[in-house]
Amino acid sequence: MFKTKSGKEIFIVDGHTHFWDGSPENQSNVHGKQFIDCFYAYHTNLSPPEQLWEKARFEKYSEDDVYRDLFIDGPDDVAIIQSTYLRDFYKNGFSSIERSTSMASRHPERFIVNGSFDPRDGEKALEYIHYMKENFDIQGVKMYTAEWNGESKGWALNDPAAYKCFELCDKLGIKNIHVHKGPTIIPLNKDAFDVHDVDHAATDFQNLNWIIEHCGLPRLDDFCWIATQETNVYAGLAVAMPFIFSRPRYFGEVMAELLWWIGEDKILFGSDYAIWTPQWLVEQFWEYQIPEDISAERSGVQLTDEIKEKILGLNAAILYDIDVEAKKKQLSGAPVQIAAE
Amino acid sequence: MFLKFQETELVAEIWDCLEHVTDPELDEPVTDMGFVEKISVDQQDNRVEVEFRLPTYWCSPNFAFLMAFDIHNAVSRLPWVTGVGVTLNDHCFADRVNEGVNGGRNFASVFSEFCEGENLDAVRLKFLEKAYMRRQEVMLLALKAKGYPAAEIIGMTLEGFDAVKFCDPVSAKEKPRYRSLLMSRGLAESPSDPAFPTWKGERLTEGELGDYMARLRGVRINMEFNGALCRGLQSTRYKEVEIGKDGPGLIDFIQNRVPPRDVDRNPLATT
Position B268 pLDDT exceeds 60:
no
Closest CA to B139 of B79, B182, B100: B182
Average pLDDT in the B21-45 region? 90
Is residue B144 domain-resident? yes
CATH of the domain at B67: 3.30.300.130
Both B246 and B116 in a single domain? yes
Residues A184-200 pLDDT 10s? 555 434 455 578 899 99
Say yes or no: B107 and B159 in one domain. Answer: no
Chain centroid, CA B51 distance in Å: 15
The reported pLDDT for the residue numbered B247 is 65
* pLDDT range class, residue A45, cuts 50, 70, 90: confident
Contact (CB<8Å) B214/A188? no
Helices and strands (H and E) in chain A: how many: 15, 10
Angle at B231 between CA A249 and CA B220, to 5 degrees: 45
Per-residue pLDDT, averaged over B60-88, amounts to: 94
Q: Are residues B39 and B92 in the same domain?
A: yes
CB contact under 8 A, A186 and B217: no
d(CA B102, CA B175): 35
Neighbours of A312 (CB within 10 A): 28
Mark whether B97 and B14 lie in a shared domain. yes
Residue B259, in any domain of the structure? no
Of B92, B115, B224, the CB nearest to A250: B224
Domain span at residue B170? 123-225
Domain membership of residue B173 (yes or no) is yes
Q: Do residue A184 and residue B221 have CB atoms under 8 angstroms apart?
A: no
Same domain for B208 and B247, yes or no, is no
Give the pLDDT band of residue B103 (cuts 50, 70, 90). Answer: very high
Asked, for residue B248, whether it belongs to a domain, the answer is yes
Q: What does the pLDDT read at residue A340?
A: 46
CA distance A326 to chain B (A): 39
Q: Are residues B93 and B158 in the same domain?
A: no
- Choose among A18, A16, A28: nearest CA to A92: A28
What share of residues in chain A are helix, strand, coil (percent, to 5)? Answer: 50, 15, 40
Identify the bridge partners of residue B103 per DSSP, sorted by sequence position: none
Three-class SS of A303-323: CCHHHHHHHHHHHHHHHCCCC
Domain assignment present for B184: yes
- pLDDT category at B222 given cuts 50, 70, 90 is confident
Show the domains of chain A with their CATH numbers.
2-333 (3.20.20.140)
Task: Over range A125-138, report the average pLDDT.
Answer: 98
**Is B153 part of any domain?**
yes
Q: Helices in B187-264 by DSSP H: which ranges?
A: 209-237, 250-254
Whether residue B238 is found in the same domain as residue B202 = no
CB contact under 8 A, A45 and B222: no
> Are B107 and B233 part of one and the same domain?
yes
Task: Give the number of other CB atoms < 10 A from CB of residue A296.
Answer: 12
Task: Give the number of domains in chain B.
Answer: 2
Q: Are residues B248 and B221 both part of a single domain? A: no
Average pLDDT over residues B216-241: 75
CA of B45, closest CA in chain A: separation in Å?
37
Task: Check CB contact under 8 Å for B58 and A186.
Answer: yes
Q: Does A37 touch chain B (CB under 8 A)?
A: yes
Mutation target among A27, A188, A250 for the B interface, most CBs of B within 10 A: A188
Residue B269 domain-assigned (yes or no)? no
Asked if B143 and B50 sit in the same domain, the reply is: no
A65 — contact with chain B (CB < 8 Å)? Answer: no
Q: What is the pLDDT of residues A304-315, one digit of tens each?
A: 999 999 999 999
Chain B residues within an 8 Å CB radius of A45: 229, 232-233, 235-236
Residues of A in contact with B115 (CB under 8 A): 188-189
* A-B C-beta contacts closer than 8 Å: 81
User: Both B6 and B46 in a single domain?
Assistant: yes
* pLDDT at position A338 over 70: no
> Which amino acid is it at B29?
P
Which residues does chain A have within 8 Å of residue B236's beta carbon, measured at their own beta carbons? 41, 44-45
Nearest CA in chain A to B223: A218
Kindly report the nearest CA distance between residue B1 and chain A, in angstroms: 41
Is residue B12 pLDDT above 90, yes or no?
Answer: yes
In terms of domains, do B101 and B163 share one?
A: no
What's the DSSP call for residue B191? T
Is the pTM higher than 0.90? The answer reads no
Interchain CB distance below 8 Å, A186 and B226: no
Confidence of residue B237 (pLDDT cuts 50, 70, 90): low
Q: Is residue B55 part of a domain?
A: yes
pLDDT over 70 at B239, yes or no: no
Report helix, strand or coil for A251: helix
